[in-house]
Amino acid sequence: EKYKSKDIQVLINGAGFGALGEFNSIDVDREIDMINTNVVGAHVLTKLFLKDMLKRNRGYILNIASSAGYMPGSPYMATYYASKAYVLRLTESIYGELKKKNSHVYIGSLCPGPVDTNFNHVAGVQFGVKALTSKAVAKYAVKKMFKGTLTIVPGFTMKLCHVFGRFV
């Protein structure tokens, strides 16, 4: 509502967090907060901004999914992986709808692997893969967004995982 009267042309839909632990041991309220942030928040903001962008037939929405969104799941992060798969599949579905109506509105998803942010601390995780800098990921994502790329995967290692996963 606060931004409804503004001519928003780019939405980077990036709120999200994770939690590490066995599915049955993570506090359900924490998981509900995660689902509300990662899924409901992304869904609602996409819908609200997309409606206005469609009226103007222009605009960009970049939903931050994760490499977790296209992977088969991970022990100890079940809810996070599921939430990011939702964001990825929602984005792909909307992309298909926009393409069918020849819309000038773009939607895509950013699927990075580990990024050097506060995520690791909040989620309580450490990754074996070297994290990319947030600045490098952001620059790459914006460049690919303006080129119309549907799924943006920064970093050689994650690209390899993405391609190999699709091949398998």
| Catalytic residue set | 76, 84
Q: Which residues pair with 116 in a beta bridge?
A: 133
Q: Which H/E stretch holds residue 82? A: helix 78-100
Q: Which residues pair with 10 in a beta bridge?
A: 60
Cβ 61 vs Cβ 103: under 8 Å: no
Length of the chain: 168
What is the signed CA dihedral for 30, 91, 143, 115, rounded to 10 degrees?
20
Angle, to 10 degrees, between the axis of helix 28-35 and the axis of helix 78-100? Answer: 20
CB atoms within 10 A of CB 37: 14
